[in-house]
Chains A and B, each alone.
Chain A
């Protein structure tokens, strides 16, 4: 492999890139030259290819499965079905991965003749080449026994989940909402609906399992957490943990879909176990509609206010879909109840079973759905009470978290409103719907609030300093796109003064110290804190070593007396007096020094949240109803920003998800046969380049060391929260049409 030289990256060499530096990604050259390798791109000469055969019915049983014609094809090695697969664990508990719902029976592929949902894998054809496996899969022949099924959430029976999942506790009601609503002079009632959405990361789900000569397995998996996949697959198939290594150096997007191990890992491992040969299984785009997704949601919101728009009552009840075999829950109704000052709130949440794969977390799970719906309701209230939408939010501004009745560690939302509005030019808005236009285009301006959790999870990092002065920091976290490699490098540079090109960040390897799945916008705070702690401990060791040397220029110096600059440790008082790390190592006769540290959240009773204010302009062609988003300003308060360049990209990415949610994305099922109809990228629309305008991102920094020790709150999800609502509200302003059913597609805009 030839060495790639990026001038852009070379230009940032020699720099001690601390917090707030707009560093270009350290893995940038690998990604733009095609050298970055994803799970399906590791190969060996004897590798076999597995192609999935999925159930053609929604629910029922396999009466007969005939694989003889497939097996007869030259080059086919085996066809795995429930009839001939190796045994796996009987215990559900062993299959509860880190992101599994608390209640339910995790799915086991090829385990029985049951078909639980459309698109379920029921056979794996394994062959010498991909093409042979694909051709042979067409020859599998199955007789089914159909059973009654329901894929339409509207017709499913809602129930209150008995043991809600962790973090999704039953939302707490307060006051007397119904009475307060009845006596409110201003009332609005809205029934909101969100269609199911599929994550559709660009990389196809893939697992490559290599059987090593010594009986070990090396697995390249598309995952948001190698430790999760590792633990899951060992538990499931009885592999010894020490004999399995899961790697995931690059992940081509995931957005939550790779939080839980997906079935291609199970199938590849199953085939490798049975055949004792290396196997790769890659899902097709179509098959990626046969796993988790953002559930459909029905949500009724009633708001009561006085004639000044002050909230008197919030009544909010929502239903989301789950599968027949697991209770997947989301936090839908809590966001509005948390965000605004209101003494009376009644919040109810239910789930209902549909015969699909279990839904799973998708970028801002619950928050994207709940916040966006609530923020449309707030816009309705603004019009009903004749108050400017921004002013309405300010009038109902809550200094404390309304659900927990606690202070926030920080909440700079007021600044977000102000700076966002100024940048957007909100004060020039004429309030009347249909009052702004240019030619045949109606112009609409809308805004919304965004809110998400600032989470942090225990993470362990090992930092190793080598005699040549290079530093390695490693943890088993993932980089699914936010820039974890870069963030870790930057924090290590900040903590040690070592220039970025001398630092290597390692992740995506189950042999590294523990990290949870990358999700919930928690990685920067979690891994970042641990990197900083490990590096500080390491620097202390270096100083101790230096202290002990004979005639040490640093003898007696303590950490607070020294500066770390460019791979040197020197006295703050007298920078000339010091030693380079290499000098310390040589003098002390050391090869390397190592420190391993655990980062965990600070104990606080305060609420930790990120906030944003989103302002959007849309233009709607009056005749054909085509709507375009033409301007977005998103002002975000998310604590301290480590890297404004990559953080901005995260917000932009979230906004693009919001555009998809507002205008394009929906998984459509034909409920008569219980199957997704548009399971491909031509018919499941995600935003393309021409759908996305320039996006202004404003970071309102918060000094907040309670949210996380390094002051970081995370930016992966906040960008999607509020954006879809701001677009829907702008569409109302443009057209006078209040649409409560997301996505707002052309057909909804043109019909009366």
Chain B
């Protein structure tokens, strides 16, 4: 079991015991009621793969999966998630270190530049796969529009997701 690094004393008085499964590992924590899932992951559990881009539910950088559904972790108070199963970008690769098909496809298609939105994009894309609502490029675009990529890697992100949906292993389209 993982122990959260313990912050200042003030919080402990108000902290609520919470049990989460994070990337397959059960974690029992005393969490102050005001701590967002995002801050919990980044500041207490050293899972900094989940990014903060706005802290207001406006950018999607903090997307993780809760019980298989994609959510903005900056908008969730961690104490409300007792008993849930959370998957972050750190939990997508196989235990042997082999990458998830989405991760491979993002590399193959250059679906990122700076990489800051990428964990959120990939978790969001996994959520989209779980929802099984989008198959065409237009649908993928629409359903991925909660994740901003300021580097503008969108067309490549769509290529990567489309590849995984249709179980292709295509080479990225190259410029002439």
Residues of A at under 8 Å CB distance from B?
2-9, 22, 24-25, 27-38, 40-41, 43, 45, 74-75, 127-132, 200-204, 250-255, 282, 284-285, 419, 423, 480-483, 644-657, 680-682, 686-699
Contact = CB atoms under 8 A, between A and B. Distances in A.
A285 B54 contact: yes
Contact of B153 (A203, A649, A688): A649
B174 interface: yes
B119 A647 contact: no
B70 to A, nearest CB: 14
A258 B104 CA distance: 30
B115 A648 contact: no
B135 to A, nearest CB: 15
Contacts of A28: 106-107
A357 B52 CA distance: 24
Given A419-B176, A698-B175, A200 B150 contact: yes
A202 B174 contact: no
B145 interface: yes
Given A34-B89, A653-B152, A128 B7 contact: yes
13 contacts: A6-B99, A6-B104, A22-B174, A29-B103, A202-B51, A202-B151, A250-B114, A253-B116, A656-B152, A681-B56, A689-B141, A689-B158, A692-B152
Given A690-B142, A698-B176, 19 more contacts: A6-B99, A6-B104, A8-B107, A22-B172, A28-B107, A32-B99, A32-B106, A33-B89, A34-B47, A34-B88, A252-B51, A282-B52, A481-B114, A644-B175, A649-B110, A652-B153, A653-B152, A681-B54, A690-B141
Contacts of A688: 145-148, 154
A112 to B, nearest CB: 30
Contacts of B96: 5
A687 B147 CA distance: 10
Contacts of B113: 253, 481-483, 646, 649-650, 653
A253 B149 CA distance: 10
B49 A34 contact: yes
A431 to B, nearest CB: 27
B8 A37 contact: no
Given A285-B53, A653-B153, A682-B58, A29 B110 contact: no
Nearest to B118: A31
B35 interface: yes
Interface in B133-176: 137, 140-142, 144-158, 172, 174-176
B152 A5 contact: no
Contacts of A201: 114, 116, 150
B174 A203 contact: no
A263 B64 CA distance: 31
B11 to A, nearest CB: 7
B8 A75 contact: yes
A646 B107 CA distance: 11
A253 B51 CA distance: 13
Contact of A202 (B93, B97, B98, B116): B116
A36 B50 CA distance: 11
A252 B118 CA distance: 10
B26 interface: no
Please list the 3 inter-chain residue pairs (A to B) with the smallest Cβ-Cβ separation, ordered nearest first.
A34-B49, A656-B152, A252-B116
A202 B61 contact: yes
A687 B152 contact: yes
B127 interface: no
A330 to B, nearest CB: 21
B55 interface: yes
Contacts of B18: none
A5 to B, nearest CB: 5
Nearest to A3: B97
Interface in B92-131: 92-93, 95-99, 102-104, 106-108, 110, 112-119, 122
A200 B53 CA distance: 9
Contacts of A131: 11, 32, 34-35, 39
Nearest to B61: A202
B73 to A, nearest CB: 13
Contact of B150 (A2, A35, A253, A694): A253
Contact of A681 (B34, B59, B106, B145): B59
B142 to A, nearest CB: 5
A29 B54 contact: no
A24 B110 contact: yes
Nearest to B53: A202
B150 A695 contact: no
Contacts of A75: 8-11
Contacts of A255: 150
B136 to A, nearest CB: 12
Contacts of B25: none
Contacts of B137: 694
Nearest to A27: B115
Contact of B103 (A3, A6, A132): A6
Contacts of B147: 688-689
Given A41-B42, A682-B58, A202 B148 contact: yes
Contact of B58 (A681, A689, A698): A681
B82 interface: no
Task: Specify which of B35, B46, B151 lies most central, judged by the most chain A CB atoms within 10 Å of its CB.
Answer: B151
B90 interface: yes
Contacts of A482: 113
Contact of A4 (B42, B99, B106, B172): B99
A432 to B, nearest CB: 29
B43 interface: yes
Nearest to B119: A34
Contact of B104 (A8, A419, A651): A8
